């Protein structure tokens, strides 16, 4: 049976996240920035999917998507969400909850045009989450856009944007032997973070 001090220390959760994230970037074989995004309808019907973290800091955690997709529609109707990072190589996970706000058009433009050109074309051609009669139809739309914008900048579709989750709660989970795991929750009250250990 394990003894000793808590490994997840009380303190500032963003600094702890940065430390864990840096370790994940070095150890995870694929997409250390992959996170599950959970949204819900106004009636409380949840849905979850994997997205990629594209920026984070004191203001929050940023991801990009088609605002006309299912998740975009749920965010518009209920702008609260939860994120989950699971780094299997480190046997750690982090849960983050908070309200969402849209990034500025300048931020969305900058990220859209930082992506590979084929990714820009794919996003512009996609009616994300809507029925598709065949994959060929989608690939044909990508090809048509590639021809239409050959030699020119691809404009960011107005419905392709980003969202920032402003954290009000973190939960750090550390795998331990014999399922004697360690959990600590951080909650924002005003401008102050408080924390408590939780039974695993």
Q: Which of 135, 136, 152, 179 is catalytic?
A: 179
pLDDT above 70: residue 7: no
| 179 a catalytic residue | yes
pLDDT above 50: residue 1: no
> Does domain 13-198 bear CATH number 2.30.110.10?
yes
pLDDT above 60: residue 85: yes
**Cα(51)–Cα(55) distance, integer angstroms:** 12
pTM for the model: 0.88
pLDDT above 50: residue 114: yes
Work out the average pLDDT over 15-33: 95
Half-sphere exposure of residue 91, counting CA atoms within 13 Å on the CB side?
8
Work out the average pLDDT over 166-182: 91
pLDDT above 60: residue 3: no
């Amino acid at each position: 049976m394990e003894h000793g001090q808590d490994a997840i220390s009380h303190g500032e959760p963003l600094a702890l996240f940065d430390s864990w994230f840096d370790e994940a970037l070095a150890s995870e074989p694929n997409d250390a920035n992959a996170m599950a995004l959970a949204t819900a309808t106004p009636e409380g019907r949840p849905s979850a999917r994997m997205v990629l973290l594209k920026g984070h800091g004191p203001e929050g955690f940023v991801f990009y998507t088609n605002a006309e997709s299912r998740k975009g529609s749920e965010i518009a109707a209920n702008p609260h969400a939860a994120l989950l990072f699971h780094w299997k190589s480190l046997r750690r996970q982090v849960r983050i909850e908070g309200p969402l706000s849209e990034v500025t058009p300048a931020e969305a433009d900058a990220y859209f045009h930082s992506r590979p050109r084929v990714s820009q074309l794919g996003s512009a051609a996609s009616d994300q989450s809507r029925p598709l009669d065949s994959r060929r139809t989608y690939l044909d739309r990508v090809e048509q856009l590639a021809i239409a914008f050959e030699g020119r900048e691809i404009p960011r579709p107005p419905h392709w944007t980003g969202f920032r989750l402003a954290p009000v709660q973190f939960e750090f989970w550390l795998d331990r032997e014999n399922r004697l795991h360690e959990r600590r929750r951080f909650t924002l009250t005003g401008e102050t973070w408080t924390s408590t250990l939780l039974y695993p």
